[in-house]
Amino acid sequence: MVHAPLATLVNHQVRLAARPQGLPGPECWQFSESPVVEPAEGGVLVRTLALSLDPAMRGWMNEGKSYIPPVAIGEVMRAGGVGVIVASKHPGFEVGDHVSGGPGVQEYWLVAADQVKRSGLAKIDLRLGTLGQWLNVLGMPGMTGYFGLMDVGQPKAGETLVVSGAAGAVGQTVGQIARIKGCRVVGIAGGPAKCAWVVKELGFDACIDYKSGSVKDGLKQHCPEGVDIYFDNVGGEILDTVLTRINKRARIVICGAISQYNNTTPVQGPKNYLSLLVNRARMEGIVVFDYADRYHLAVAEMAGYLKDGRMKSREDVVEGGVAAFPGTLPKLFSGENFGKLVLQVAAA
């Protein structure tokens, strides 16, 4: 791969300017430019090709203790992504290697020697999946879905699984794996197009359109034997409704609560949580980073499913580079995205 001389290049960046109240608007962001420089000994320089836009980003923008520190004001916004090595002084990476990691919302990512390992920088094999799939089922959302389902949800053939955000990146992974493992799979998604796709393309047994009908009625209809596993990406009313339909010893995987992330009032706690008591059920959180040493196993398994056609994926790719980031992120919270939301930063 031929690349322009580094000194002629500019790195366009998006930084966090202010912590959001509610939905993150343009006032939260500032644009900056920095020179592109050669990596020092042991480091690499990555050109960002595409960024992963995830609901979790909303949490990273808040102050306060969480599973990782918040993004500081003035810092380049944290983001996972895929890219290509354009300069390397590290023996493990060559110019032209495709990689995944956390470049942040910027066009070039300089990784110092002592950060290569800590940053999660890893080569990716485009024979196993496309760049988009490496941000989706083979990336963080896929790993989240895989380990959340397998380790916390513990599916058994014949059980009924419900997953919210079914057409999203995590949801599509969870539902398809559960189906492969022999579960009855019922999605919850917004709008007829997403619901139809989830059933017809991904093979879910049913999908409930929360925008057009009653989730409670949908669960009664499509989960006649109750719910054994609920994989929750949304929280709020939907979590409360599913709690009324769980079976004895059900597992509720708390992966996210996108309905609550932009609240300016307190989070809505699940008022039906005592269903856990009545049903001896469990509600448990999952953070994907805990499974880093097993990502390769999940990638191998899911790449196999992609290859043999048992698993499909859908990415919603937005063009426009890092400048389009502030306007694209809110699509996640309105549910406008259809599939894994990806921001293309450069041509592959």
Q: Site residues (CB under 8 A) for a second copy?
A: 65-67, 235, 240, 254-257, 260, 266-287, 290
In terms of phi and psi (left: phi > 0; alpha: psi -120 to 50; beta: otherwise), the region of 280 is left
Phi, psi of 209 (to 5 degrees): -85, 105
- State the nearest-atom distance from the C-beta of 285 to a second copy, in Å: 4
Of the two residues 236 and 335, which places its CB atom closer to a second copy in the complex? Answer: 236
Of the two residues 32 and 244, which places its CB atom closer to a second copy in the complex? Answer: 244
- State the nearest-atom distance from the C-beta of 113 to a second copy, in Å: 30
Task: Round to whole Å and give the CA distance between 322 and 343.
Answer: 8
- State the nearest-atom distance from the C-beta of 65 to a second copy, in Å: 8
Of the two residues 117 and 271, which places its CB atom closer to a second copy in the complex? Answer: 271
Residue at token pair 């009545």: 278
Nearest CA to 175 among 61, 190, 335, 197?
A: 197
Phi, psi of 201 (to 5 degrees): -90, -40
- State the nearest-atom distance from the C-beta of 296 to a second copy, in Å: 21
Of the two residues 148 and 218, which places its CB atom closer to a second copy in the complex? Answer: 148
- State the nearest-atom distance from the C-beta of 281 to a second copy, in Å: 6
Taking only Cα atoms into account, the Rg of the chain, rounded to an integer number of angstroms, comes to 20
The answer to whether the beta carbons of residues 80 and 340 sit under 8 Å apart is: no
Of the two residues 121 and 332, which places its CB atom closer to a second copy in the complex? Answer: 332
3-state helix, strand, coil in the chain (%, to 5): 30, 25, 45
**Residue 255, Cβ density class (10 Å: 0-12 exposed, 13-18 middle, ≥19 buried):** buried
Beta bridge pairs of residue 285: 254
- State the nearest-atom distance from the C-beta of 57 to a second copy, in Å: 15
Residue at token pair 């919603």: 316
**Residue 308, Cβ density class (10 Å: 0-12 exposed, 13-18 middle, ≥19 buried):** exposed
Task: Round to whole Å and give the CA distance between 164 and 322.
Answer: 29
Task: Round to whole Å and give the CA distance between 110 and 84.
Answer: 12
- State the nearest-atom distance from the C-beta of 239 to a second copy, in Å: 9
- State the nearest-atom distance from the C-beta of 18 to a second copy, in Å: 23
Of the two residues 216 and 310, which places its CB atom closer to a second copy in the complex? Answer: 216
Of the two residues 111 and 257, which places its CB atom closer to a second copy in the complex? Answer: 257
Of the two residues 201 and 237, which places its CB atom closer to a second copy in the complex? Answer: 237
